[in-house]
Structure 1
């Protein structure tokens, strides 16, 4: 039995876009969808019912009921065949969705919610979940087009294998191809020439490039045999990974990356590349931590 997809809603247009994306994902995977709203007001001991002087359908509780019903209606309109459940939980959205991620195959959120400030490109909920969620996290932003190929940021690190597996499985479900992009610079490649360990970057650029092409090929090893219907385009580029992936996302239907790459610091749960994509990608982004892929 497949674990459900969870989508966080707060009544914002961004969260309704997330509901649409989550419903499509649930239809592709043949699993259920769980619409979740974190209801913080009971914990603050705020009156939930309508005011004696106001309309009968007023009050915080009725407002929450309407926004959840709107989200469920959106999900049914996108994927009528998907079983949709809903839950209103007491607590902050960050902790509530992190808890939900423990029993989900994917958590979907919008790029900005009602709590975001106008100058912020990304809400704190999305960043927090990408770093701390216990399953892959999709942040819906930019253009949504499920017919375009998936963009995979492949850095060759062991922690990035979850992202590779997710991308190929997702492409197989969507019936699209995968563009596997690996970006490198001479200073991001640790090379130790024989006999001179003090010269860590002494190889010629052509030799470095050939080595990075091998890194990409090895990181995808076995996937083409397991997913013969998924066309794969290999792209190795010299330059910064953030800039290369953001630019390539213009032509993608979904960008998939690991939470941290081989250049990240051990104490960071979310690397600079994944953070930059969450802020600036031109299509939805999925961040996959090392052990996040689930049946």
Structure 2
């Protein structure tokens, strides 16, 4: 039995776009899709959402939301096996618990209102930081789906925590039949550092050459059936990777620490023009 993909929903349009992305991805991998709704969102915005929809709060039932999401997924892929789960828990806990027996978690990047935007953004960050499986935060335009989107290539950031991210990116590129852009950001140090192999003051080309050497080493295990394009770009990764996402269908980054995202991951999740997947180093 293949592990399912898990997608979190809350009835908002961004979460439904996440359902579209998740349905594509589940169909691509040939695995079931599990739609999860943590029902305690009503504690924060039940009354406000009821006013927005012109319905009493009691009428906003969890089963209505998950059934609507499941129907949406099946319309895209009629043969997809879709199950639903509504649990009386915070969204973060509901998704992380479901993710313990999942191949991937997919979440939207925003919610319904100003308060919900901050809430769901926090959910996405929390799950991406604490999950033991890859987490996709769906960003970008409405047509930026896993299949049939505007941009085909996949971008992967190559750095300290990149081995698992590279394996994930290789798999996705192979399944989608698209090229993989492996990006290694590099910077000239502002002052001498004991742990840097090159002294300050050397020409920029030496630092770029060192970054290219590291990139080549990281890509030694690249499969022969995936087209890999190498890019060494000067600048901080938190700026270089979002810029590379402008022409991508998916941006893949690694995560070293359980329960915490670094500055690069935070910046990428907020500024990427396409869906971002955060892959734990041990995944």
TM class, shorter-chain normalised? 0.7 to 0.9
1:206 corresponds to 2:182: no
For residues 6-59 of structure 1, give each alpha carbon's deviation from its aligned partner in whole angstroms, at most 9, with x where no partner exists.
000000000000000000000010000000111228999x9xxxxxxxxxx966
Shift of residue 122 of structure 1?
6.6
Shift of residue 271 of structure 1?
1.1
Shift of residue 201 of structure 1?
3.5
Q: Work out which of the two has the higher radius of gyration on C-alpha atoms and give 1 or 2.
A: 1
**What CA distance in whole angstroms lies between the structure 2 residues aligned with 1:136 and 1:254?**
13
Match of 1:137 among 129, 135, 142: 135
TM-score (norm 2): 0.85
Partner SS, residue 3 of structure 1: coil
**What CA distance in whole angstroms lies between the structure 2 residues aligned with 1:248 and 1:33?**
30
Shift of residue 138 of structure 1?
0.2
CA spacing shift, 1:132–1:116, aligned 2, 3 Å: farther
Instruction: Name segments (4+ residues, structure 1) moved above 6 Å.
Output: 41-44
**What CA distance in whole angstroms lies between the structure 2 residues aligned with 1:91 and 1:290?**
28
The farther-off stretch of 29-38 and 107-116 is: 107-116
Shift of residue 206 of structure 1?
2.2
Match of 1:247 among 243, 267, 283: 243
For residues 101-157 of structure 1, give each alpha carbon's deviation from its aligned partner in whole angstroms, at most 9, with x where no partner exists.
1111000000012475377597101000110011000000113127510011111x2
What corresponds to 1:7 in structure 2? Answer: 7
CA spacing shift, 1:11–1:186, aligned 2, 3 Å: same
Q: Is the 8 A contact 1:150 1:252 kept in 2?
A: yes
**What CA distance in whole angstroms lies between the structure 2 residues aligned with 1:220 and 1:119?**
38
Count of aligned residue pairs for this structure pair:
265
What corresponds to 1:273 in structure 2? Answer: 264
What corresponds to 1:87 in structure 2? Answer: 85
What corresponds to 1:191 in structure 2? Answer: 196
**What CA distance in whole angstroms lies between the structure 2 residues aligned with 1:84 and 1:2?**
13
**What CA distance in whole angstroms lies between the structure 2 residues aligned with 1:203 and 1:86?**
58
Q: Is the 8 A contact 1:22 1:33 kept in 2?
A: yes
What corresponds to 2:280 in structure 1? Answer: 289
1:218 corresponds to 2:237: no
What corresponds to 1:148 in structure 2? Answer: 152
CA spacing shift, 1:60–1:146, aligned 2, 3 Å: farther
Partner SS, residue 212 of structure 2: helix
For residues 44-103 of structure 1, give each alpha carbon's deviation from its aligned partner in whole angstroms, at most 9, with x where no partner exists.
9x9xxxxxxxxxx96637522211111001100111111000011111101111111111
**What CA distance in whole angstroms lies between the structure 1 residues aligned with 2:131 and 2:9?**
16
Unpaired stretches in structure 2, ≥5 consecutive residues: 47-54
**What CA distance in whole angstroms lies between the structure 1 residues aligned with 2:258 and 2:282?**
17
Unpaired stretches in structure 1, ≥5 consecutive residues: 47-56, 194-199, 261-265
What corresponds to 2:181 in structure 1? Answer: 179
CA spacing shift, 1:290–1:37, aligned 2, 3 Å: same
